[in-house]
Amino acid sequence: MHFKQLSPTIAIMTKTRAQTIGRWIFASLVASLTLFNTLGFEHWSYAEVTIWSFLALLSWHLLFARRRIQFDLERQLITINVSSLYPLTQQVIPINHIAAFQIQQRLGQPHGYDLLIVMDTQIEPLKFQYGDLHQIKKLGQALSQFCAIPLLSD
């Protein structure tokens, strides 16, 4: 996911075109295989159909699950939506209560870094994104510039 500014006050996080197409091809391949299986159901037992439905659930989420992140300076909100055709979870972060963005190495992972959102109203920082140092640094700089909030890194 990388940062993309749409207008002076609105920005979103998007995937690269290669990522989107790659995931779409892979997911639709899995989904069509799962659907193709249903043609042979007359020979399957009920137990097998039940097990199939769990695999079909997986391919459902592979096909539909997505995370949308919107930054809105006018309303001073960062909105994170996770959905899979139906809404799964939502997180609304008021920008004016963010004290800082922080880059931190994940414990026990020499190349894994977290981008944290440190709130001035709450004890535990919020996890925002995970990736390698180069990626996280680029994203953190873009975010801190857009929201005008300092970026901390060890």
Among 14, 31, 52, 112, binds another protein (CB under 8 A): 52
Window of 8-16, 24-32, 74-82, 133-141 that interacts with another protein by CB under 8 A:
74-82
Member of 12, 27, 31, 119 binding another protein (CB under 8 A): 119
- Confirm or reject binding of residue 89 to another protein (CB under 8 A): yes
Of 14, 70, 79, 141, which one interacts with another protein (CB under 8 A)?
A: 79
Least distance between another protein and beta carbon 116 (Å)? 7
Could you tell me the CA-to-CA distances from 82 to 16, 26, 40, 145 in Å, in that order? 18, 20, 34, 25
CA dihedral sign, ordered 74, 78, 79, 82:
positive
Which one of 11, 13, 115, 116 is in contact with another protein (CB under 8 A)?
Answer: 116
State which of residues 18, 121, 134, 148 lies at the interface with another protein (CB under 8 A).
Answer: 121
DSSP character for 109? -
For residue 61, state whether it binds another protein (rule: CB under 8 A): yes
CA–CA separation, 52 and 34 (whole Å): 8
Give which of 121, 117, 13, 8 is closest to 73, Cα–Cα.
8
Q: How far is the CB of 139 from another protein (least distance, A)?
A: 16
Cα–Cα distance between 121 and 104 in angstroms, integer?
Answer: 20
Calpha distance 67→52 (Å, rounded): 26
Residue 31 as a binder of another protein (CB under 8 A): the answer is: no
Size of the site for another protein (CB under 8 A): 51
